Structure 1
């Protein structure tokens, strides 16, 4: 029953578990990033648009190692794969910053809620770009 359901929505059972692992790692890294954002802003006195890229970068480094070893099982990375990972991650940081700026400064919502929206957008970007990079 569960296997039929999985195969209905995923091309293979392996892809299902890959997405599951990606969401697990991403969720953990999101919690880390969210806690760092809050801590640096509330206790470190940094404005959210300064603490956000710091928290993003720390989370990204951990995410990279977990994606390579645990999610995509792609331990042997070429130089071009690493460069593409870094470039797409910097693009993800840009997406994060623009989304945070729009929702904090233009829309006027609380920075922690803006981070949830930004993270959802960046998560979609990250899955497709990282999957492409680490599987090629």
Structure 2
């Protein structure tokens, strides 16, 4: 349980830094350069994602010896694309149907709504990212989740469960199908 909490905290720190990068670039592009919010969000999200990948794989998740690096990257890209779509949709919805007769200037309202949408999108995407990456990328298959459910598996039962898991089978498949010369 302690390892899971520590991992969630590390994920949070990396996520906060990535959010600050994302949010800063988003506000620069929308606020200063008057770029469309979904285009700006796509650019800022992508830049923050690059940071997030390297920081997450170095500080949060451990490399699994039963998974090829190319599969790690493919899973990370897949989860990022889904996250980007969620992010774009929520930001688009945040400014959909803006009142043209707003009391404050339209640009200020647009920026405010974009930022509210970004905050909501950040929470939703962070939850999505942690769940998918923990499930498919992490090498810390422990009894922590079973303890939360009130029962603990023996080491043999835990290993057997891991061997049957989709994550392990996907990892083994990726090693077996790694092109020659790739590591």
TM-score normalised by length of structure 1: 0.84
1:44 is the counterpart of 2:47: no
In the alignment, what sits opposite 1:83? Answer: 74
**RMSD of equivalent CA atoms:** 1.8
Q: Secondary structure at the match of 1:17?
A: helix
Runs (5+) with no aligned partner, structure 2? 100-111, 139-166, 168-183
1:106 positional shift: 4.3
1:78 positional shift: 2.2
In the alignment, what sits opposite 2:51? Answer: 62
Say which of 92, 101, 115 aligns to 2:92.
Answer: 101
Say which of 57, 62, 65 aligns to 1:73.
Answer: 62
Q: Which moved more, 1:65-74 or 1:101-110?
A: 101-110
Say which of 115, 119, 125 aligns to 1:122.
Answer: 125
CA 1:107–1:16: 2 relative to 1, 3 Å: farther
> Where has structure 1 moved over 3 Å in runs of 4 or more?
106-109
Runs (5+) with no aligned partner, structure 1? 1-11
How far apart, CA to CA, are the structure 2 residues paired with 1:75 and 1:58?
26
1:1-23 deviation per Cα after TM superposition (whole angstroms, max 9, x unaligned) = xxxxxxxxxxx101110000000
In the alignment, what sits opposite 2:136? Answer: 133
Matched residues, number: 125
- Report 1 or 2 for greater relative contact order, CA contacts < 8 Å, sequence distance ≥ 6: 2
How far apart, CA to CA, are the structure 2 residues paired with 1:106 and 1:94?
20
Q: Secondary structure at the match of 1:130?
A: helix
1:74 positional shift: 2.4
